Structure formats: structure tokens, C-alpha cells
Structure 1
């Protein structure tokens, strides 16, 4: 299905997650103005998934990452591409919160579809789909 709206953004550094959230809010605002239905819960899920994927890409890989968003009639596609071929690894969550470990678990529960594909042998794209409406 052809995307209704698309956005692409190169991200790096400590402000990457905030920039990514801004992109998600912007594309959802455009979708709403165009008459598409995006529930508040779906928007929140897309914000959390995007923030987590971008934060992990910036924290655990070298170089910048890119964010590609696409709004389709059935949902929001979130693609985060980085320069590490290593897939995300689930970790045992730290109950104190000090060491994290909740990110991939959170993404796995919120995304309706989640996949990882290699990019040019020296990177990967993590794809998440959030169903809307």
C-alpha cells in the first residue's frame, strides 16, 4: 500500500530522541489535517517506539542514524537505520531502572509488526508498524 505521508530525518547526538518525537508529532498532525484517523493511544505508542529505537541507535552504535516515517491508511511505519549490523538484543530488565533493559521489551509489546533487516552489510533498519484507527 502506498504511503499517504512520508518523512525522513538524519539524527545524531543527545537531541536525537527529541527531534524524532517532533517528527512523529508533525507527521501525525499532517495526517489528522488530511482527515486520517489516528487515536491518541496510537500516537503515544508511535512516540514511545520511535524514541526508544532512536535512543538505542544513538547510544549503542557508531555514527548518526536515520528516521523514516510513513503514514498509511492502516497505520504508521517507523524505520530507524543505523551503522551497526548487530540486531537489538533483549536484556533482562533492571528492576531498579538504573541499568535499563526495558526498551526492546517495550518496543516488542507496542509494535503490531517488528522486523530487522540488514542494510549494505554494514548496518540495519529496525522496522516497527503501529496500527491506527
Structure 2
């Protein structure tokens, strides 16, 4: 999977109404469902298009699941809305980025084993987002950016 860019975080620059941040203190995988429900509620209150909410909720779930499985608690989730885009950031206290499979975002069936139930999270994030990446250091943050306007709307993003 190719990481497209590294995003610097400037949390203090957005009005509070345009960001929502929360923490999952446990590393229990049931927390991914909690994060999905919470994100859906925030995004619906922000009146984002249904397609954006659906895609964003899936991205949140995939990034949170990866943070729980591969990182260290607590897991922090941030939703930032502005300039026609939604940025989702998921941070944990793991010190190194999670392993990636290389530049090909398409799943390799041999990579997933016989059950085929894991290993697709970052490929799903790549498919649903217009940009994505990670930041490393004393913690790891994976982020994804999605359009918040339909691509066929006047003045909306061009595909």
C-alpha cells in the first residue's frame, strides 16, 4: 500500500464545532464498534452527505481496529471538518508504523490466509479516501481525508 502523504497536525487551528476528539482507553476490539457508532453520530449531526458518513464510519472502524490490534492504548480518534473535506485521525502509543504490504493497494489473497478475514484494513482506507498517510514518532497516527461534498455537485471536488 502506498502512503500518499504525511500530514502535519494543527489541532488548535480549527473551531471546536469543526472537530471532535475522543479516546478509547481499552484495547478490546469491541471498542471499534463503539468508535463506529460515535463517529456516525457526530457526522450525522454535522449533516454530511450519507455516502460520506458511510465511508467515514468504515474508515474509522478500520483505523481503530488496526490501532487496537497493532498499537498500544489509549487510542485517540479525531474528526476534522473543513474546506470540503473530512479528516479522520487515529493515534495510539505504538512507536513504529504498522507493517504495510508495499505499493499495491489491491489485496493479495495469499496474504490473508485461508480465512480471508484480516489484512485488508489499509486497502479499504485507501479505496475510500482521497488521501491518506501516517505520522510516526513517540506515537503513531494514521489519517485519511474524504470529500464532504458530492463530486458531481456544482463547486464540488472533481474526481
Q: TM-score range by the shorter chain?
A: 0.7 to 0.9
Rg (Cα) greater in structure: 2
| 1:123 has 2:154 as partner | no
Match of 1:14 in 2: 29
Q: How many pairs are equivalent?
A: 126
Match of 1:5 among 9, 18, 29: 18
Tell me how far 1:7 sits from its aligned partner: 1.1
Match of 2:43 in 1: 28
Q: 1 or 2, which has the higher strand percentage?
A: 1
Q: Distance in 2 between matches of 1:87 and 1:20?
A: 21
- 1:62-94 C-alpha deviation (Å, 9 max, x unpaired): 222110111224121101001112213234442
Could you tell me which runs of 5 or more consecutive residues in structure 2 were left unpaired when the two chains were aligned: 1-12, 102-107, 150-159
- The two structures have a TM-score, normalised by structure 1, of 0.82
Cα 1:68–1:96, aligned 2, differ >3 Å: closer, same or farther? same
RMSD value over aligned CA atoms? Answer: 2.0
Tell me how far 1:31 sits from its aligned partner: 1.0
Could you tell me which runs of 5 or more consecutive residues in structure 1 were left unpaired when the two chains were aligned: 33-37
